[in-house]
Structure 1
Amino acid sequence: MEKKLLVTGMDFLLDWVGQHIKSAEIVCSGDVSEENLSRLVKDADGILYMQAKSYPITRKIIESGEKLRFIQSAGVGYERIDLKAATDNGVVVMNMPVGTTVSVAEHTIALILGCAKNLVKAHENTVKGGWRILGLGVELWKKTLGIIGFGRIGIEVVNRMKAFEMNILVYDPYVGKEDIEKMGGKKVDLQTLLKESDIVSIHSPLTKETENLIGEEELGLMKPTAILINTARGELVDEEALYKALSERRISYAGLDVFRQEPVEADNPILKLENVILTPHMAVQTLDAVVRMMNQNGIQIEKALNGIYENVVNPEVLEKLKK
Structure 2
Amino acid sequence: MGKKLLVTGMDFLLDWVKQHIKSAEIVCTSNVSEENLCRMVKDADGILYMQALSYPITRKVIECGKKLKFISSAGVGYERIDVQAATDNGVVVMNMPVGTTVSVAEHTVALILACAKNLVKAHENVVKGGWRLLAMGVELWNKTLGIIGFGRIGREVAKRMKGFEMNILVYDPYVKEDEIRNMGGRKVDLETLLRESDIVSIHSPLTKETEGLIGEEELRLMKPTAILINTARGELVDEDALIKALKERRISYAGLDVFRQEPINKDNPLLALDNVVLTPHMAVQTLDAVIRMMNQNGIQVEKALNGIYENVVNPEVLTKLKK
Instruction: Indicate yes or no: 2:115 matched with 1:108.
Output: no
Separation of aligned partners in 2, 1:11 and 1:95:
19
* Structure 1: tracts of 5 or more residues without a match: none
For residue 229 of structure 1, give the secondary structure of its aligned residue in structure 2: strand
SS at match of 1:32: coil
- CA contact under 8 A between 2:6 and 2:26: conserved in structure 1? yes
Q: Equivalent residue for 1:215?
A: 215
Alignment of 1:59-74 (within 5 A): 59-74=59-74
Q: Deviations over 1:282-316 (max 9, x none)?
A: 00111100110011111111110011111111111
| Residue 276 to residue 106, structure 1, CA distance change in 2 (3 Å) | same
TM-score where L is the length of structure 1: 0.98
CA-based RMSD:
1.0
Q: 1:181 to 1:5 in 2, by over 3 A?
A: same
> What amino acid is aligned across from residue 5 of structure 1 in structure 2?
L
In structure 2, list runs of 5 or more residues that go unmatched: none
Indicate if the aligned counterparts of 2:8 and 2:54 stay in contact, CA closer than 8 A: no
Assess if the C-alpha contact under 8 Å between 1:10 and 1:52 holds in 2.
Answer: no
| Counterpart for residue 272 of structure 1 | 272
> 1:121·1:134 contact (CA, 8 Å) conserved in 2?
no
- Partners of 1:43 and 1:301 lie apart in 2 by 17
Q: Please tell me whether the aligned partners of residues 13 and 28 of structure 1 are also in contact (alpha carbons under 8 angstroms).
A: no
Identity %: 85
Match of 2:31 in 1: 31
Q: Which residue of 2 aligns with 1:42?
A: 42
Matches within 5 A, 1:54-203: 55-203=55-203
Deviation at 1:13, TM superposition (A): 3.1
Write the distance in 2 (CA, Å) between the matches of 1:20 and 1:133. 51
Counterpart position of 1:232:
232
Pick closer, same or farther for the CA change 1:279–1:54 going to 2, 3 Å: farther
Tell me which moved more, 52-61 or 150-159.
52-61
- Residue 34 (structure 1) shift: 1.2
Name the CA distance, whole Å, in 2 between partners of 1:161 and 1:11: 37
Q: Which amino acid aligns with 1:141?
A: W
Match of 2:10 in 1: 10
- Structure 2 counterpart of 1:261: 261
Between the aligned partners of 1:315 and 1:138, the Cα distance in structure 2 is 47
Question: What is the TM-score with the length of structure 2 in the denominator?
Answer: 0.98
Partner AA of 1:2 in structure 2: G
1:16, 1:298 within 8 Å by CA — same for their partners in 2? no
> Which whole-Å deviations, capped at 9, do the CAs of 1:118-164 have from their partners, x for residues lacking one?
00000011011101123110000000000000000000000011111
Give CA deviations for 1:200-254 in whole Å, capped at 9, x if unaligned: 0000000000001000000000000000000000000011000000011000000
* Aligned residue identity for 1:292: R
CA separation of 1:30/1:134 partners in 2, compared to 1, >3 Å: closer, same or farther? farther
The superposition leaves residues 34-67 of structure 1 with CA deviations (integer Å, 9 ceiling, x where unpaired) of 1111111000000011123363100110011011
Q: Which amino acid aligns with 2:98?
A: V
Number of aligned positions between the proteins: 323
Aligned-partner SS, 1:320: helix
Q: Kindly provide the amino acid, as one letter, of the partner of residue 193 in structure 1.
A: L
* CA distance in structure 2 between the aligned counterparts of 1:84 and 1:133, rounded to whole angstroms: 53
Letter in 2 for 1:29: T
Q: Are residues 1:283 and 2:283 paired?
A: yes
Aligned to 2:248: 248
Name the SS for the 2:146 alignment partner: strand
Q: Structure 1 residues 239, 54: CA separation in 2 closer, same or farther (over 3 Å shift)? A: farther
- Cα offset, 1:17, TM superposition: 3.4
**Helix, strand or coil: the match of 1:43?**
coil
